[in-house]
Amino acid sequence: MARGTPLRWAGVVITGAGSGIGRLLMLDCAARGARVVGWDKDGEAVEAVAAEARAAGGRAWAYAVDVTDRDQVAKAAAWTKETIERVDVVVNNAGVVTGHRLIEASDDEIERTFAVNTLALFWVTKAFLPDLLERNHGCIVTVASAAGLMGVARLTDYSASKFAAVGFTESLRAELRAAKSAVRTVTVTPYYIDTGMFDGVRTKFPLVLPILQPQDVADRIVAAIEGGKGWVAMPPLVRMLPAMRILPVRLFDAVAEFFGVNRTMDHFTGRLPADKD
């Protein structure tokens, strides 16, 4: 699908829209004619993105919301529905990373990782899913990670939260299928993305495991929403991870070591503050 092609979806909500992939999705969807509401804990940042989208001729709004707070999510959802009347696509994009070894991660950091990367999926999705089911139309997008398919050193909390995100969207897809609903899900499992969130990470084989460019990832997500695809895996090698589970544990670990997966975070610095996808 060519960039700029009008979306078939009237209204889009994107969490973590103040920067990174969320920002690009907000700009892209607004440019394609959708009414877009960006949510972010940083109200000034997301309002700047909305202003940028409006300056380019799009219809965009911003709402400052902490997606880990159920009351804030409920208020933001009510305001969003009143503002754009109809929500067709919900993009669960907000995410955090600490980049610490388990023994170095504080209890508060671990809880925050799960609050943002996992529990928020439930609060945001539940706020909009009843309307999608009633209209029998729409799409729930969950931005997980390749680390949700394979555990990575120094990402114990992040990887576990993203494994949960993959399980969340897979189970939701099963529920929708059992209900014979036309509402769809999209699971996104990218390798590291050059948004600043994972500054300092390195890859051993950049030809097969490149650090991804944000616009490429955003384009693939929009194409999946429009094209009916249920899984966005980037780069292609990521699609092999589930199949690798048939290997004995030692061989599975040896393959991971060969590709240098568990050394990718050795020089991690992250964004300051490192709190948005």
* Active-site residue set: 158
- Distance CA(189)–CA(145), nearest Å, equals 4
- Return the amino acid letter for 3: R
Using CB atoms within 10 Å of the CB of residue 164, give its burial: 0 to 12 exposed, 13 to 18 middle, 19+ buried.
middle
Dig out the tokens for 112 from the structure.
């925050």
CA distances from 52 to 23, 24, 29, 76 (A): 10, 11, 13, 21
Determine the 3-state secondary structure of 142 from DSSP. Answer: strand
Q: In sequence order, what are the residues at sequence separation of 6 or more whose Cβ sits closer than 8 angstroms to the Cβ of residue 40?
A: 15, 16, 17, 18, 19, 22, 46, 62, 64, 65, 94, 276
- Distance CA(217)–CA(214), nearest Å, equals 5
CA distances from 5 to 2, 29, 33 (A): 6, 10, 9
